[in-house]
Structure 1
Amino acid sequence: MQTSYAELPNLVIRSANGVDYAYRDTGGHPDQAPIVLLQHFRGNLDYWDPALIDQLARTRRVITFDNAGVGGSTGVPADTVEQMARDAIDFVTAIGLSRTDLLGFSIGSFAAQEIALRRPALVRRLVLASSAPKGAPGMHGWAPEVIAAVGAPEPSPEGYLTVFFTGSADSQQAGKETLGRIFGSRTQDRDEMADWATREAQYDAVCTWGIPDHAALERLAALEMPVFVANGDSDPMILPRYSYLLAGLIPQARLKIYTDAAHGFLFQYHDEFAADVAEFLS
């Protein structure tokens, strides 16, 4: 019987770079490539919606982890996406994977792109949720109201609901249910919260990634693996137009935009998104 994500133990593995990475592993499905998830801005192991992970784990071994210096992992939080990617590769190598699928969410999707470009033999298929390419015009930092909502010293449920969900009654209800699962499903042995140094380093990485650079967009033509690009139609943090841009630049990309959804579309539509990912990966 499948163990719920909320009940998985926190594991630790030391990599060749000397970092102790905190992670969780659903196990199972040895005949399939595992899927490694890369988390959003300031997120840790507990900021994944357990409902989404449990659905993904029906067909795949799912591995979540804290990158270096984030949450329960030791080391220094990376202040560039390139360093995030190098650290993530060190983690994947440490747990003994030579071939995997990647699902990157938000800043995690930036790192996922970089991993696929840097180590293409490692990545079988790639899922980019709420993503944007390096150098895209208009991506140099987030709108003031967005960074105020999710970048404050003490994050709030109200800020989360504002950015991750739309203002509609249905989306807000989905957001409250998501928060209930994220903070209510696991009450013991929770992961450490990301600290202010992580917030600062990750926002530096976001801003550097977003410096306009038309030439950087051409890098994506090198991605030869199939890629699933997805977003909500009302994401205020990483606008949907960047999903269309990604899909146009990546040779084997498919695109889906979820209606009445914002940055947290994958939690709002956890069943549908998990089914879409399972179909894509298969």
Structure 2
Amino acid sequence: MGEMINADGVGLWVERQGKGPDVLLIAGLGDPAEAWQSQLDGLADRYRLTAFDNRGAGRTALPEGLLSVPRMADDAAALLGALDVPNAHVAGFSGGSFIAQELALRHPRLVRSLVLTSTCARPDAYFLSMTRFWNWMVERAPDERAMLEAFYLWIYTPRAHADGTVDRMIEEALAFPHPQSVEAFQRQLAAFLSHDTLDRLGRITAPTLVLAGENDIATPPRLGRVVAERIPGARFAVLPGEAHQPFQEVPDLFNDRVDAFWREVEAQG
């Protein structure tokens, strides 16, 4: 069971599992902590994993005023402080990877290592056009099911659409008792569109692994490659045949990759 944690005056809903070195999992646009369930379950025998609802997602309230990536990075830092975690392996996905980048830049002592999945340093023209449509779609779709069916075309592989995985994801999302509001979706999206670390990534000192899905059309490998090239010593890997959310579609493969990386970082002291 999760709990609400007061993180420097902000109530963040948190799910924690496992024992071992600390791992902080940062979700993307609209996703609650449960998006990481395959990691919370699959890696709990080796790590103490913490996932949480960002502002405006799940059970964490949408704040008044500006919602920004740096502000959400400060939330993540405050959460680690509230949990008495001196540093953690940080894994961020999509918009959560933007937050993870800012966390490493703003609070470097808290970040033991970085895993950035489906990431970019600065949205490009295609990304901006795509998300303008998302912004319109979430308002105009006739119902939540229709919105998810359309949205997931950018997110999951054709394989997942064919084998029933997407149907299952949609049913789970519709059954979730804390759906994201249209306003929260749009404000989170606006925050992620303002993300720009391109000229600052060279200041990141944490060991970094950048993962991209070969068939990701939302954040294609070319964007992740730029991030890896800008972070000193970062590694870059493309997952063949995968799309935007490999940690959900192929969790065993994803978990093995990040586990091997974290073990190597731990071995280096």
Identify the TM-score tier after normalising by the shorter chain: 0.7 to 0.9
State the 1:107 CA deviation: 0.4
Q: Distance in 2 between matches of 1:184 and 1:194?
A: 14
Highest RCO, 1 vs 2 (Cα 8 Å, sep ≥ 6) = 1
Instruction: State the partner residue of 1:172.
Output: 161
Instruction: State the partner residue of 1:250.
Output: 231
Instruction: State the partner residue of 2:195.
Output: 209
Instruction: State the partner residue of 2:181.
Output: 195
Q: Distance in 1 between matches of 2:98 and 2:39?
A: 20
State the 1:146 CA deviation: 6.2
Structure 1, unpaired ranges of 5+: 1-8, 211-215
Question: Residues 35-83 of structure 1: CA distance to partner in whole angstroms, max 9, x if unpaired?
Answer: 111111111123x153343222232111110123432123517622111
Q: Any idea what SS the aligned residue of 2:31 has?
A: coil
2:58 aligns with one of 71, 89, 95: 71
Question: Residues 186-212 of structure 1: CA distance to partner in whole angstroms, max 9, x if unpaired?
Answer: x7xx562222221121121122125xx
Instruction: State the partner residue of 2:203.
Output: 222
State the 1:90 CA deviation: 1.5
- 1:112-191 to structure 2, matched below 5 A, reads 112-133=100-121, 135=122, 137-138=124-125, 141-143=128-130, 147=134, 151-152=138-139, 154=144, 156-167=147-158, 170-173=159-162, 176-177=164-165, 180=168
Supply the RMSD in Å over aligned alpha carbons.
2.7
Q: Any idea what SS the aligned residue of 1:218 has?
A: coil
Deviating more after overlay: 67-76 vs 143-152: 143-152
Q: Distance in 2 between matches of 1:75 and 1:149?
A: 20
8 A contact 2:148–2:170 mirrored in 1: no
Instruction: State the partner residue of 2:6.
Output: 14
Q: Distance in 2 between matches of 1:177 and 1:248?
A: 33
Identity of aligned residues (%): 26
Q: Distance in 1 between matches of 2:237 and 2:160?
A: 18
Q: Distance in 1 between matches of 2:131 and 2:97?
A: 22
State the 1:173 CA deviation: 4.1
- The total of aligned residue pairs comes to 258
8 A contact 1:50–1:181 mirrored in 2: no
8 A contact 2:27–2:94 mirrored in 1: yes
TM-score by length of 1: 0.81
Q: Distance in 2 between matches of 1:68 and 1:225?
A: 25
Deviating more after overlay: 49-58 vs 92-101: 49-58
What amino acid maps onto 1:194 in structure 2? Q
